Structure 1
Amino acid sequence: MSSPPQPGTWRLGRLAGVDLLIRPSLLIMGVALVVLFASRFEDRTDSNPYVLATAFVLALYVSVLIHELAHVAVARGFRMRVHSVTLHLFGGETLIEGESRTPWQELSVSIAGPLSSLAIGLACFAVEPALDGTSADVVRAVAQVNILVAIFNMLPGLPLDGGRVFRAIIWQVTGREEVGIRIAAWLGRLTAVAVVVYAFTRTDEPTFGIDVVIAVLIAWFLWQGAGDALSHAGRSARINSLDARSIGFPGATPPPNAEQLSVDLHGAELLKAMAARPAEAYALVEADGTIYGVLTARAVDEAYRAGRR
C-alpha cells in the first residue's frame, strides 16, 4: 500500500512498488526549457521550433526518470527500501530508507544514475544516423543533453551523484564517512559558484538572461544540498562518537529487570539497540555476560549533544 504523497507533490502512480511523484516546479522548469531550446531549433523550416522543443523536454524528463530508476534498481539489489522517486525543478530525487552500510554500497547506488544517463546518450547517438528530419534533431539533442547530464552529475561535489561517489572513495580510504561528506560538500559549494561564473561568461548567447536564471537556480540547489550534507556530517560525527563503554557508568548497579545492552556497542548500532528496547537505564554487559555497569538514555543524549569522544 502506498503512503500519502509528500507535501507539495503530485503522485503519478507506482512502479515496482515505488511512488512516482512530481513537484509543480517541474512544470515551471519545463516551460523554461521549451523557451530555451526553441531558439536552437529555429533553423528547422519543416517544424515548429516550440513543438520540437516540447518533444525534446518530454524525452529529457523520461531520461531523468530512467536515471532515478537506475538508483532504485541498484538500491533494491542491496535490499534497501526505496520509498519514492520525485521529479522536480532540478531533475530527480530517489528517497531511500536509511544510509549506505559500506563505501561500496554508496558508490554503487550513486554511480548507477550517471551511467544510465551516459548509456541513454550513447544509444541516442547510435540510432540518430538512421533517422532524418525532426526525429533526428530531437534524438541528437537528447543524446547531447544526457551526455552533459552524466558528466555534470559526476562532478565530485554533493549533492551530485559524483559527490556521493567521491564521498564513498574518501570513506573507504580514511575509514571515516563524515570526512568524505565534508570534503564532497565543500566541493559542491565550489561547483555552485563555478556554475554561476560560467553562465555570466556567456554574454554573447541570445538566451543569456534565461541561462543566468537557470544557472542561479542550479547553484542555489547545489549550495543548499551541500549545506544539508555538512549538517549531516556533523550529526554523523556525533553519532559515531557514541560509545557505550565510555558513556556508561562502570560498577553501577542496574535497576531490577533492566534491559541488557552489549558494552561494546557504539555509533548507530548503539542507537538502534536502544530504540528497539526503549528504557531510561540499561544494564551494560561484557561479552562473557558479566555486568559492566549502567547506561542511561540521558547520558547518551548529553554525549550526543556535546559531541564528546
Structure 2
Amino acid sequence: MTSPAPDESRRHGWRIGSIAGTPVYIARSWPVIAVIIIAVFGPALGRADRSPSYGYVVAGGYAVLLLVSVLVHEAAHALAARARGHAVGRIVADVWGGHTVYDATRSTPGTTALVAVVGPLSNLVLAAVAWLVEAGVTNETASTLLVIVARANFLVGLFNLLPGLPLDGGQIVSALVWRLTGRKGSGLVAAGWLGRVMAAGTVLWFVGRPLLEGQSITMFGVVWPVAIAFFLWQGATQAIRAGAIIDATAGPVGDVLEPVLLLPTTATLGEAAALAGPADTTSAWLVATDEGGWPFGLLDPAAAAEVPAGARATTPLGAVVTSQPAEWVVALGTDAVLTDLVREMSERNLPVIVVVDATTRRVAGLATAERVNEVVGAALARRRRS
C-alpha cells in the first residue's frame, strides 16, 4: 500500500486503508465522538456483578462498531459513485459521521439519487444483519453490543433518509427537483430549505417537546440535539448558497466573454495600435499568438507605455507581452454554460483564460475572474430581488 504524502495525512487524518482503490481516513476529530460514547454509555452499561470498567469497555466496543458502520455507509456511497463512472477521492470518518468525496461534475439526477440512497440502505441492512445474528448469540456482552448496533444503524438509516440537505434524503429530494425542473441549483436550494426545517424540527422534537410536556431534560439532552441541528443548518445553508450560484452560472458562456484581437508576437506595437484603434475606444484584449497562431500571452499595457513613440514602429509585440501558461486556453463546446467555465478557471487556478470552440478551435473570446464575478453577482442580485 502506498503511503499518502505527509500534507495529505495532515489534511484528512489517519489513513487506515483503502476500498476499491479509494483511500480511507479517520479524521482527527473522530476520537471526540468515541470519548462521548464511552462517557455517556459507559455508566449505563455497567453491571454490579462485573468489574467497574466493564461498562466502559462495552461502550468502547460500541464506538468501534459504530465506526465500522460509518465506513460501511460511506463505502456504499463510494462504490455506487465508482460504478456510475465517477472518480472517488476519499472516504473520511469524522465527528459528524463521515463523508465521501467524489467528482460529481458530470453527474445526473439519477446517479445523484442512487449514490445518496445506498448509504442509509446499507445501515438498514446492517441493522437487519445485527438483529439476525443477535438471535443466535448466547454471550451476554456480544448480545448487548449487537442490539445496540442494530438499533443505532436502524435510527441512523432512517435519520439519513429525512428529506433535507445535508442528509442523504436531501440529496434524493435535490435530484428529484433537478429532474423535474432541469435545474440542478433549484434542487439544491429546495433541499437546503428542507434541511433547515429538519434542523429546527430536531431541536423542537428533542428539546422543545419534552419541556412543553413538563419533562426533565439533561444537559446532554440539550447539547447533543442542538449540535446536530447546528450541523444540519450549516450544511443546508451551504447547499442553498451553492444552488443559487449554480443557477446564476447556468447561462451561456458568451455572457462573460470579451472580444480579443489576435496578433503574432512578431507584429510591431505600431501595427497593433493601428489595428486596435484609439485606446479609449477599443474594448478588445490584445492577445499575442505563437508561430502556429495559438494564443500565447497578453499585452502588458504598462510595458507598452514605456516604449518611446519613435521605437513603436520597430518594437515587436513579443517584447511587451506577458506569457501565459498553456492551460490558459480552454476548449468548450457550443452547449457549455457558465458553470463549466467557472469550474475550468477554478481547477486551473487562473484569473484569465482564452476560450476556443471545441469543434472549430477558433477563439471565442477571453474571460476574466473580474468579469465572471460581475455577471454572477448581478444574477444573484436579481434572484434576491425576485
Q: TM-score, normalised by structure 1?
A: 0.84
Answer whether contact 1:254 1:294 (CA < 8 A) is retained.
Answer: no
Letter in 2 for 1:297: A
User: Aligned with 1:12: secondary structure?
Assistant: strand
Query: 2:357, 2:86 → 1: CA distance?
Result: 31
Residue 105 (structure 2) pairs with residue 34 (structure 1): no
Q: Deviations over 1:87-126 (max 9, x none)?
A: 1111001122344520011111111110111110011111
Deviation at 1:76, TM superposition (A): 1.1
Cα displacement (A) at 1:262: 4.7
Answering whether residue 50 of structure 2 is matched by residue 49 of structure 1, we say no
Indicate yes or no: 2:176 matched with 1:169: yes
Q: Distance in 2 between matches of 1:193 and 1:185?
A: 13
Aligned to 1:302: 374
CA distance in 2, matches of 1:282, 1:148: 50
Residue 238 of structure 1: CA displacement? 2.1
Deviation at 1:39, TM superposition (A): 4.5
The residue type equivalent to 2:98 in the other structure is: G
1:153 corresponds to: 160
Cα 1:89/1:207, change in 2 over 3 Å:
farther
Moved more, 53-62 or 38-47: 38-47
Report the residue type matching 2:338 in the other structure.
G
| Structure 2 match to 1:244 | 253
Would you say 1:188 and 2:195 are equivalent positions?
A: yes
Q: Which shows bigger deviation, 155-164 or 204-213?
A: 204-213
User: CA-to-partner distance for each residue in 1:111-163, whole Å, 9 max, x for gaps?
Assistant: 11101111100111111110131111110110011000000001011111111
2: CA distance, partners of 1:13 / 1:235? 36
Choose from 114, 118, 125 the match for 1:119. Answer: 125
**Partner of 2:283 in structure 1?**
none
Cα distance change, pair 206–83 in 1 and its aligned pair in 2 (3 A): farther
Q: Quote the Cα distance in structure 2 between the aligned partners of 1:156 and 1:108.
A: 15
Distance of 1:51 and 1:284 partners within structure 2: 64
Calculate percent identity across the aligned residue pairs: 28
Among candidates 41, 58, 76, match of residue 82 of structure 2: 76
Report the alpha carbon displacement of residue 202 of structure 1 after superposing the two structures with TM: 4.3
RMSD across aligned positions (CA): 3.1
Equivalent residue letter for 1:5:
E
Q: Which residue of 2 aligns with 1:269?
A: 340
Higher relative contact order (CA 8 A, sep 6+): 1
For the 8 Å contact 1:254–1:281, the answer to whether it is kept is no
Whether the aligned pair in 1 keeps the contact of 2:257 and 2:367 (CA below 8 Å) is no
1:73 aligned partner, one-letter code: L
Contact 2:92/2:100 (<8 A) preserved: yes
Q: Secondary structure at the match of 1:297?
A: strand
1:128 maps to amino acid: E
Runs of 5+ consecutive residues of structure 1 not aligned to the other structure? none
Q: Secondary structure at the match of 2:85?
A: coil
Assess if the C-alpha contact under 8 Å between 2:186 and 2:244 holds in 1. Answer: no
Q: Structure 1's 262 and 118: CA in aligned 2 closer, same or farther, altered over 3 A? A: closer
Gaps of 5+ in 2: 264-292, 296-328
Q: Which moved more, 1:93-102 or 1:299-308?
A: 299-308
Q: CA deviation at 1:15?
A: 0.6
Q: Distance between the aligned counterparts of 2:262 and 2:136, measured in 1? A: 78
Cα distance in 2 for partners of 1:205, 1:28 equals 29
CA deviation map 1:30-73 (0-9, x unaligned): 11112222344346745722222221121111111111111111
Matches within 5 A, 1:219-258: 219-241=229-251, 243-248=252-257, 255-256=262-263, 257=293
How many residues get paired? 302
Selected match of 1:14 from 14, 17, 23: 17
Contact 1:157 1:187 in 2 (8 A): yes
Q: SS where residue 8 of structure 2 aligns?
A: coil
